[in-house]
Amino acid sequence: MRIAEAELRTVALPLLTPFRTSLGTQTVRRALLVRVRGTEGEEGWGECVAEDEPTYSPEYLEGAADLIRRFLLPALFALPDLDPAGVAPALAHLRGHPMAKAAVETAVLDAVLKARGLSLAAYLGGVRRSVRVGVSVGIATGLDALLDTVDRHVSAGYARIKLKIEPGWDLEPVRLVRETFGAGLMLTADANTAYTPADARHLARLDAYDLTLLEQPFAPDDLDGHARLAARMDTPICLDESITSARAATAAIRARACSIVNIKPGRVGGYLEARRIHDLALAADVPVWCGGMLETGLGRMANLALASLPGFTLPGDISATARYYERDITAPVVLDGDSIAVPEGPGIGVTPDPAALEAFTSGPPERLTPDTL
């Protein structure tokens, strides 16, 4: 099977409430969708999780679309056989851009696995039929608003609460949530690189609140700073932005910069690279969990497949649709207790709802064939 046609489409989904982190505030989630159709007729979908601006990572949405259109798709159109394992090697001469590469690889995976009648979870080696999930709570307008938000998510059944923090919004909100909801709540904090090693003494005060982990306090390339903080704190350090590949994960683990790893498929270049990181972390006895990027139902269902692998022992950021969106482009992703079911259908196990897709599409879709590139 080869790629006969591809489509690029941008969708814009309004968030139920603004989501603020140390990097900024989002009110709408724009996502770039990639659809490929093989010569045997099967269609596959992928979602590019790059944001509008290059704040979380160097990639941004419009740049990803340009790269996919001008470079990635021509390379894939030239492949004589559409094998998912061949996508990354075919694109290796193009440096960087893991989120764009992950989107096209996911679309290929979806199409090929549909043709084989095999689910993404089974292909990756998943062992769970459902995955325990947590929820990420943005920086609130005040402490009362924070407690109301956390209470709503705890009541919904989420297995873990993650608080976004930044200088000036850290010790007090963490203390208040811990004291209000008790020692039984699995609680983590995520800094999104908002601190520097000069803040190490301040961050060490978080040890008092029995956090499951502190996520990415320093810059992505500062493994030494993270290693020194890890040696100083009782709270385990987890890396997110620093983990861009299996090689980067190996370096971080060897440097003792982290004892937990957050795996985001878009950030590392796709689900196959994400599986490699899982495998090496499992061999090193390092727990992993699946992070989120405010994905639509397409990305969430694929993330559930990844999170069904045996090394994903901590609840991931794969919240139900109702956490962020009134309406998704797919059937709603639904919380059952503290878990969400892993899709069992072929490919990623879900396709967009045509009416919702049209309702949220921003601008005309772009259809591409080997003859038009």
Which residues are known catalytic residues? 164, 264
Rg (CA), the chain: 20
Residue 356 structure tokens: 């919702």
CB 297 within 8 A of CB 330: yes
Q: What is the largest CA-CA distance in the chain?
A: 63
State how far the Cα of 332 lies from the Cα of 315, in Å rounded to an integer: 19
CA distance to 45, 225, 235, per residue, from 231 (Å): 43, 10, 10
φ/ψ (deg, to 5) at 342: -80, 130
DSSP 56-96: SSS--HHHHHHHIIIIIHHHHHT-SS--GGGHHHHHTTS-S
DSSP 283-320: HTT--EEE---S--HHHHHHHHHHHTSTTB-S-BS---
